[in-house]
Amino acid sequence: MKIIRKNIYIVIIFCLLLTFSNAYSQWFFDVETGAAFSGYNNVRIPRDTGTQFSLSKDLKTDSAFFFRLRLGYQIGQKHTISLLLAPLSLNASGTVNKSIRFFEEDFPADVPLKAIYRFNSYRLTYRYDFIRKENLRFGFGLTAKIRDAAISVEGNNLKSEKTNVGFVPLINFRLEWFLAKKLSLLLDGDALAAPQGRAEDVLLALQLRLNEGLMLKAGYRILEGGANVEEVYNFALIHFIIAGATYRF
């Protein structure tokens, strides 16, 4: 019920901000896809009594196809609000030469294991552009993120899964530098650090404007962070090679 209430609040805020629109206001739709590759992914659940192991070193994590969808609305010259859907799932497998205590199960050493790392993200972002010049645009904002995460391990006729759904506030930033009339360099992301953990989701991409409505992009995204709390210790780094497009209408 708490998640449902949060989603209702997000929709209400989104609708209220639309009432401040003017003649310049504009919808946009952004899609991003490509391949995701695991860097480190260290897990210990529970933090104090579980066994620490790596989904990317002790096991082998396969690369995966991913996609992201963002629907946004630009209000006037400097205000932007958007909703992001960013699902992600990575599969790992292999054997580990030590027994593993993971959440509610004990897995013997040297048995075939399968693991799934899921990290779905749903975000509402508001950003204000402090600088909006012909060749440079720069803004800061706030992102309200709902994290729907899970790690599962299966093997030796045993299965254990730890899920986590929570709210995370982040700082949003966007820097767009126009190298030419139709070519720009984009640095865009959400990030924040706290004693309990951190989160960074940052894109560096080249953009090519085909016309007034359509812009293509290609680049590199990094997703890094995790939590060190009583129930969970998990820090992961994921690399993305991306291609995408933004359509304004």
Alpha-carbon distance of 12 to 6, in angstroms, equals 10
What's the pTM? 0.89
Secondary structure (DSSP) of 129-157: EEEE-SSEEEEEEEEEEEEEEEEEEEETT
DSSP 62: P
The pLDDT of residue 77: 86
pLDDT at 13: 56
> Rounded to 5 degrees, what angle do the CA atoms 174, 242, 135 make?
35
> CA-CA distance, 241 to 221, in Å (whole number)?
7
Nearest to 14 by CA among 100, 110, 160, 125: 125
> Hey, what domains does the chain have and what are their CATH numbers?
2-248 (2.40.128.90)
What's the confidence (pLDDT) of residue 21? 46
Let me know: does 243 contact 34? Beta carbons within 8 Å: yes
Q: CA 242, CA 33: separation in Å to the nearest integer? A: 6
For the chain (249 residues), the mean pLDDT of every run of 10, in chain order, is: 50 51 76 98 96 97 98 94 98 97 96 98 97 95 97 97 95 97 97 95 98 96 96 97 97
Cα gap 89→178, rounded to integer Å: 34
Q: Per the structure block, which two tokens stand in for 5?
A: 């209430």
The residue type at 131: I
